[in-house]
Amino acid sequence: MVRLIRVWLEGYKSLKDSPNPLLQARGERLEKEVIEASPVLFPAKLLGPSRKARAEARRLSREIRLEMGGLSLGQRLAGWATLLLVSWTWLTSKLRLFQQPALLRIEHRIPPAHRRWKHKSTVMRLQGGLHARPLRVLAEDLARNARDLIAFVFPGSFGDSEEYSTSAATQPLAMEQDD
């Protein structure tokens, strides 16, 4: 996002004083884009992936202030809210809470002539939709997340098993018997 905002800012600077009204309008649109995207710079300045990235976000933020003026109260509040949301996302990711359920690869008896690879695994379909019993899958995911949270708080209480139950999501398919 920092690089994108930088491109928009450079575009704004080069187009804002253009004699062509179409290019001037494009510059005004880029100005609006930069201002609307500037709250993203708050977490980038504090939590960027490297010292260099954080310094670049700070330089860009300073340049925007010099070029376009300070941020309004609403934009500053949006920046702090963005920082809170980024922190929440990081925390839930680390604790594996409220994450997307894992996709299940369901493999069924595939005749050797129909296999894509020599080894046994062949993906027939990915689970999804109502046939996957979503409420039961959700209950299993919530139970797994609760167990993981307890294991995080009290290490060793549940072990480090990465096994996922497939009882809720798998349904037997009617398959022809191979001879």
Instruction: State which amino acid sits at residue 115.
Output: R
Could you tell me the pLDDT band of residue 149, with boundaries at 50, 70 and 90? confident
Task: State in Å, rounded, how far the first CA of the chain is from the last one.
Answer: 58
Choose the weakest-confidence range: 11-20, 96-105, 167-176: 167-176
Mean pLDDT to the nearest integer, 120-138: 55
Residue 14 is predicted with a pLDDT of 94
Between residues 122 and 73, the one the model is more confident about: 73
Task: Transcribe the chain into DSSP letters.
Answer: -HHHHHHHHHHHHHHTT-SSHHHHHHHHHHHHHHHHHGGGHHHHHHH-SSHHHHHHHHHHHHHHHHHH-PPPHHHHHHHHHHHHHHHHHHHHHHTT-SPPPPP-EE-----GGG-SSSSS----EE--SGGG-HHHHHHHHHHHHHHHHHHHHSTTSS--------TTT------PPP-
Choose the weakest-confidence range: 37-46, 53-62, 91-100, 144-153: 91-100
Q: Full-prediction pTM beyond 0.75?
A: no
Copy the structure tokens of residue 172. 């037997």
Q: Is the pLDDT of residue 59 over 90?
A: yes
Residue 129 is predicted with a pLDDT of 52
Measured CA to CA, the distance from residue 90 to residue 72 in angstroms comes to 27
Q: Which range, 23-27, 88-92, 171-175, is most confident?
A: 23-27
Mean pLDDT to the nearest integer, 41-65: 93
Residue 122 is predicted with a pLDDT of 46
Between residues 97 and 165, the one the model is more confident about: 97
Q: Is the pLDDT of residue 85 over 60?
A: yes
Q: Is the pLDDT of residue 125 over 60?
A: no
